[in-house]
A = this chain, B = another copy of it.
Amino acid sequence: MTSTLPRVLVIGCGFGGLEAVRVLSKAPVEITLIDRTNHHLFQPLLYQVATAGLSAPAISAPIRHTLRAQMRRGNLTILQAEVTQIDAGTNRVTLDDGASLVFEHLIVAAGATHSYFGNDAWARFAPGLKTLADAFDIRARVIGAFESAERCEVAAEREAWMTFVIIGAGPTGVEMAATMSEIAQHTLKDEFRRIDTRQARVVLIEGSDRVLGSFPPGLSQRAREQLARIGVDVRTRCKVTRIDADGVTCEVQDAALTTTLRLPSKTVIWAAGVAGAPLGRALAASSGAGLDRAGRVIVQADLSLAGHPHIAVIGDLACAKSHGRGEPRPVPGVSPAAKQMGRCAAANVQRRLRGKRTKAFRYIDYGSLASVGRKAAVVDLAVPPFGALRFSGLLAWLFWLFAHIYFLIGFRNRLVVMIEWAWAYFTFERSARVVAQPPATIHT
C-alpha cells in the first residue's frame, strides 16, 4: 500500500468525481476516491424513482463495479466514508470514523443539497429530491396520499390529500408535476373505490414569470401549454411564504396587485432551491476561499482555489466561470458541466505534475432538454456554428428518451430502463409502485 506516487484525493462520485477518476487512473498517481454512498446516481432520472416509474437499482450503478477496469490498473482505492473536515494548511482530510488521509492533490466534488432559502423548517413538509433516500420518501408520500384519501371521511381533508403541490418549475419540478398528473389521470384511475383519482389536483408553483427559466422563452411557452393540456395547474409569479403540515401559502403577483393564495395540501415537493454541500463551507473556512450566495465555493479560472493551486472544486459545489471567447460566463449546475470540470481538473493535476501551467476551464454547452410527461419534451441544442436547434413535442420526447438511455451508465441498466419504459408506455402502469416502510414511519 505504500507508494511513492503523488497522492490525489477525489471527494464525491457524481458525474464530476467519476470523470476525474477515470482520467486520472491512467496517470502515474495514487488515487483515493471517497463517497458517502456505494453508488453513482444518475440524477437526471431520479424523479422517475420518486414517482414509482423506475426501481432504484435501475438508475444507480455500484461505484466499485463502474470503476472495476480502473481498479485493475492498481492505483485506485475506493472508500465509502463521509469527509467531515478538510485542512487546506496540512493537506489532510478527516473521515467520519476519525481516520485522516494526506494528499498532494485534492478534487472536491461533493455536490449540492436543497436550499429552503433560510426556511429550514419547511424541509419536514416539503422534501427535496437529491438522493435515493429522498426519492423513496417522496414515493411513499405520493402513493400514501391516495391511500389516505381513500380512508379519509372528512371531505376537506380528503381534498388536501388529493392536492399535490410542486414548488419550483425547473426541469425537475416540471417533470415531477407532469408525471404526477399522469399517475392520477391514468395509472391509478380504476384502482380506488371511494375516491376518483382523476380529480386529484397537481399545482406547480414558480416564483419567476415562466416555467423552465433556463430555456428560451418559446420553449417555456410550449412546456406551459403542454402542462395545461395534461391538467397541471401552473402558477407563475407566485412566491411561497409558508409551508406547514396542512399546505402552502403563497403571494401571487399580478400586475400591481399582490394576493395571497392558500393551497391546502398534504403532499408538497420542493424543487426550487439548490445549495452547495455543507463540505463547501468547511473547505472555505480552512482555505480562505469565498462562497457565493448559494454556498458554492468560488474557484479560479483553472477550477483551483486562490492560494491553493493543488485543491480544485468541481461540479455543483463549484461557483465556476467558463473561459471561452468573450467575457467569462457562469457555468450552470448540470451534469455535462460537472463531467467537463472533472476532466479539466484531472488534466490540470497531470499538467502540474509535468511542471506545466494549468488550463482555464471552458464549458462547452451542447444544449439542454426536459421532458414534460408522456410524449412531450422541449429540446434546445447548440449547433455551432449554425446557432441553435429548438424543437418540442413527440420528436423532442423521443430525442429525450434516447439521450437519457444512452447516457445511463452500464449496459444492463439501459436494458432494464428501456423495458420498464416500453411497458409503462403501453400500459400506463408504473413498475415501482412499492413502498417498503409503512407511512407512519415517514410522516413523523
Q: Which residues of A contact B (CB under 8 A)?
A: 1, 36-39, 55-58, 60, 62, 64-65, 68, 71-72, 76-82, 95-97, 99, 131-133, 136, 143-144, 147, 150-151, 153, 188, 190-194, 412, 415-416, 419-420, 423, 427, 429, 431-440
Contact = CB atoms under 8 A, between A and B. Distances in A.
Contact of A191 (B71, B81, B153, B190): B71
A162 B211 CA distance: 52
Contacts of A147: 38, 79-80
A434 B79 contact: no
Contacts of A39: 433-435
A64 to B, nearest CB: 4
A80 B151 contact: yes
Given A58-B55, A71-B193, A194-B77, A423 B434 contact: no
Contacts of A434: 38-39, 56-57, 60, 62, 132
Contact of A76 (B136, B193, B412, B416): B193
Contact of A1 (B65, B194, B433): B194
A436 B64 contact: no
Contacts of A37: 435, 438
21 contacts: A1-B194, A37-B438, A38-B433, A39-B434, A55-B55, A55-B57, A56-B56, A56-B434, A57-B432, A62-B433, A64-B192, A65-B191, A78-B150, A79-B150, A80-B147, A99-B153, A133-B437, A412-B423, A412-B431, A415-B419, A416-B431
A66 to B, nearest CB: 10
Of A65, A133, A192, A423, chain B has the most CB atoms within 10 Å of the CB of: A65
A57 B433 contact: yes
A138 to B, nearest CB: 12
Contacts of A38: 143-144, 147, 433-435
A433 B65 contact: yes
A53 to B, nearest CB: 10
A82 B72 CA distance: 51
A34 to B, nearest CB: 10
Nearest to A431: B57
Given A131-B436, A136-B436, A439-B80, A64 B191 contact: yes
B58 A436 contact: no
Nearest to A77: B193
A93 to B, nearest CB: 14
Contacts of A144: 38, 80
Given A64-B188, A82-B440, 8 more contacts: A1-B194, A38-B143, A60-B434, A62-B433, A68-B190, A79-B147, A82-B438, A415-B419
Give the 5 A-B CB pairs with smallest separation, nearest first: A55-B55, A64-B191, A132-B436, A80-B147, A57-B432
B436 A412 contact: no
Contacts of A56: 55-56, 432, 434, 436
A110 to B, nearest CB: 14
A372 to B, nearest CB: 25
Nearest to A97: B151
B151 A81 contact: yes
Contact of A190 (B72, B99, B133): B72
A355 B37 CA distance: 61
B151 A190 contact: no
A153 B79 CA distance: 13
Contact of A416 (B1, B65, B416): B416
A190 B436 contact: no
Contacts of A78: 150, 192-193
A427 B413 CA distance: 14
Contacts of A97: 151
Contacts of A60: 434
A320 to B, nearest CB: 28
A143 to B, nearest CB: 6
A97 B152 CA distance: 10
Contacts of A71: 190-191, 193
